[in-house]
Structure 1
């Protein structure tokens, strides 16, 4: 039985993987799929792909594109979530900042450089006509728990993270959300190390076939809203709202989308150059 290591954030987007693992779907196909949570997100996963700690990652589109351009020996093999990620822009509940405009020139808490929280701070700055060279500053906080500490203690001023996963912190009066910033492209893709594709191509293809069978019908799973609410400590009405906004994908990411992401990252000086579609994406 071949062992394949995969990483992803411990969030509701990835519940399908948990369900497949719990049901033994991969083992029935002769694959020992080992899931590893990466609560600090994309930056940690790109590092793990580079080191060979994982073979696959369910990862933010803009983050893995940036890292492949910068030399990560991986390629995108499928879109996983087709819809945008809605990033909430949060401040400490007792902060004096009331609007996104108030955050111009202040310090953003980010999980790490190269992470989604880092890259989306640039997208948010551009959306609001800020100067990305002078109006952005960063404090590395590693994860959501670090952001709670950083904002509460005044080490940073705002924090961008998926708005439904941070909603409990808003409800508890720890964070206050002053706005949102959707990604202008599909939010999650599956990426694979090229070395792993050479040695485990058939197994990786089977893994995608198994997970796609679940995601294509994910919203029709009995009581899925209750399962998500219980597992991720969400209110049922928030889960239902999230499900209504979220669509999974079983397809390869389009060339148009790849160019769009790179154009945006290049315009913000986040990447030094653009790559061809075939340098970033492969069909398996």
Structure 2
């Protein structure tokens, strides 16, 4: 059996992978899959791919596009979530800030530089017509770090996936002052170039398995209750999230890659654009 090490965030988007693992669907096609949760998100996974700690990752589109341009020897092999990610913009419960506009010139908590929380702070700043060169950041590593940093006023706001953070809004740790959806499909499946070269058939088999499950995921009986129990979220919120989320079984389009690069270049987060085939690998 071929061993493949896969990484992803410990969030509801990735339950299809765990269902496939629990049902031994990968082993049925000759794959020995190990899964690793990355609480630090896309920035942490980018480093793990570079360091040969994982072979495949489910990552935020903008984060991996930037890191491939910056030299990460990996490529996007498929779009995973076709819908945008809704980034909630959070402040501490007792914060004096009540609107997104109030947050101008304050410090944004991010998991790490190059992460989605870092890059989307620029998108949000541009949406608000702020000077992006004036943005200030505090690295907090993950959601737990932000739960400490905001009440202690080490940073004044934090951007993270709307539904993942909602329990902390409900319990009074955070207050959400707004949302910032990504202007593109949010999650993609990424593999190291070496794995693409040496394990093409294995990666195709991997995609076949996850695509079968993701295609029927919403119609699985009691799936909202399963998600609610697994991720400790209110089932009503899970149902709302399911209604907004679309899984994909296709590769990203050249138009999408162009749009992402154009935005990153406009925000001065990359210094150049590269061609589509340097970012995406499409299996024949």
TM-score by length of 2: 0.99
Q: Show the counterpart of 1:95.
A: 95
Q: Show the counterpart of 1:217.
A: 216
Q: Show the counterpart of 1:126.
A: 126
Q: Deviations over 1:78-124 (max 9, x none)?
A: 00000000000000000000000000010000000000000000000
Listed as ranges, the gaps of 5+ residues in structure 2 are: none
Report 1:164-243 matches (<5 A).
164-243=163-242
After TM superposition, where is structure 1 displaced by more than 3 Å over at least 4 residues in a row? none
Shift in Å, 1:30: 1.1
Listed as ranges, the gaps of 5+ residues in structure 1 are: none
CA RMSD in angstroms, aligned pairs only: 0.5
Q: Show the counterpart of 2:4.
A: 4
Q: Show the counterpart of 2:60.
A: 60
Output the CA distance in 1 between the equivalents of 2:200 and 2:154: 45
**Secondary structure of residue in 1 paired with 2:76:** strand
Q: Does 1:82 align with 2:97?
A: no
TM-score by length of 1: 0.99
**Secondary structure of residue in 1 paired with 2:133:** coil
Q: Deviations over 1:43-82 (max 9, x none)?
A: 0000001111111110000000000000000011100000
Kindly tell me the number of residue pairs found equivalent between the two proteins: 283
Output the CA distance in 1 between the equivalents of 2:56 and 2:272: 25
Shift in Å, 1:198: 1.3
Which segment drifts farther, 21-30 or 117-126? 21-30
Q: Show the counterpart of 2:248.
A: 249
**Secondary structure of residue in 1 paired with 2:199:** helix
Q: Show the counterpart of 1:71.
A: 71
